[in-house]
Amino acid sequence: MPQNPAHLRLPNGRFKGFTVARELLPYCSVVSRALALHQVNGPADVSKPKEGSNLKMLMVALSLLTVCLLMLAVTPAMAQQTLYSNGPYNGTTDAWTINFGYEVSDSFLVANNSSIQGLHFVYWDASLTDVVTTVDMQIGSNPLSGNTQTLSGVTNTFLGTNSYGYAIFQADYTFAGIPWSGAGWVTLQNACTTSGCSVSNPIYWDENSGVDCPSPGCPSAATESVLGSIPSEAFTLTGSASGGTTPEPGSVMLFASGVLGVAGVLRRRLL
C-alpha cells in the first residue's frame, strides 16, 4: 500500500520547466545587453579592442538570447496550472466503477474565464498490465451532463497495490482547452483498457472524500448514475486560469529565428 500519497498532488503554481524558462529570460536579456554595451563602450582600464571584437561579442550576446528564447518555446506545453484539486488519493477506502455502463460525476469550482486543459485522476485496476487507455469525459453544469469527449493519449503512473490486491494508478490526460467559469461537474464513464472496451476488466475511480483538498469549493460533491449521491473522488483539473495565456511556441520561435538572422548577418561581416 502506498505510504506517501501526498506526493501525487499537482503543484498549485506553474510547472517547474516553464517557471525556469520564464524567469531566466529577463536575465538572459540583461546579460545580452550588458555584453553588447561592454564591447561598444569598452572597459576603462584596457586598450582599444581589436577590430571586429564588438561585432563578435554582439553575436555571442544575440546567440545567448536566442538560446533563452528557444528554452521558452519548448516549455509552453508544461505551463498548465492547477485549476481545481479534490485532494490526494486514498487508495484503500472504496472506489466507483466508470465502465460497465456506470457513470460518476464530481463537482468542481474554477476561476472565471478558465480554460480546462487537463484531467488527472486515480483509479483501481485488478490488473497490472491491462491499464486504462481512453475514457469518456463530460464537463457540464449539472451531474451526468455535458458534451462527451473521449480522452486518449493517457500517461499511467503506477502508485502501488492496496490491501485488497488492486493496483493503483494515476491517469493523466491533456486535451484542447474547454472554456469554463465557476462551478461545474466532471463526469467519467466508458473507461477502456489495453484489452479493449469490453466489460471484462472493471475500472474504479478512487474515493477520497476530498480529504486535505487544497482548492476553493472543495471537497467535491459526487453522484453515481445508479445510486445517486456518493463520497467524492480523487481528481485534479489543470489548465490556464482567469484568461491567462501561454506564449505560443510559433511566436517565440519566429522571434528567435529573427535574432538568429541578425547574428548570421553579423557573422558574415566578420568573415
pLDDT higher at 64 or 182: 182
State mean pLDDT over 50-67: 57
> Per-residue pLDDT tens for 67-82?
555 555 544 445 689 9
Instruction: Tell me the pLDDT of the chain averaged across its residues.
Output: 78
State mean pLDDT over 240-269: 58
Spell out the CATH class of 81-240.
mainly beta
pLDDT of 138 strictly over 90: yes
pLDDT at 235: 98
Cα 35 versus chain centre, distance: 36
**pLDDT band at residue 46 under the 50/70/90 scheme:** very low
> Per-residue pLDDT tens for 14-45?
333 333 444 445 555 554 555 455 544 555 45
In 10 A of CB 225, how many CB atoms?
Answer: 17
Query: What's the CA gap between 190 and 171, in Å, rounded?
Result: 14
pLDDT higher at 144 or 32: 144
What Rg, from alpha-carbon coordinates, does the chain have?
Answer: 25
pLDDT of 105 strictly over 50: yes
Query: What's the CA gap between 154 and 173, in Å, rounded?
Result: 5
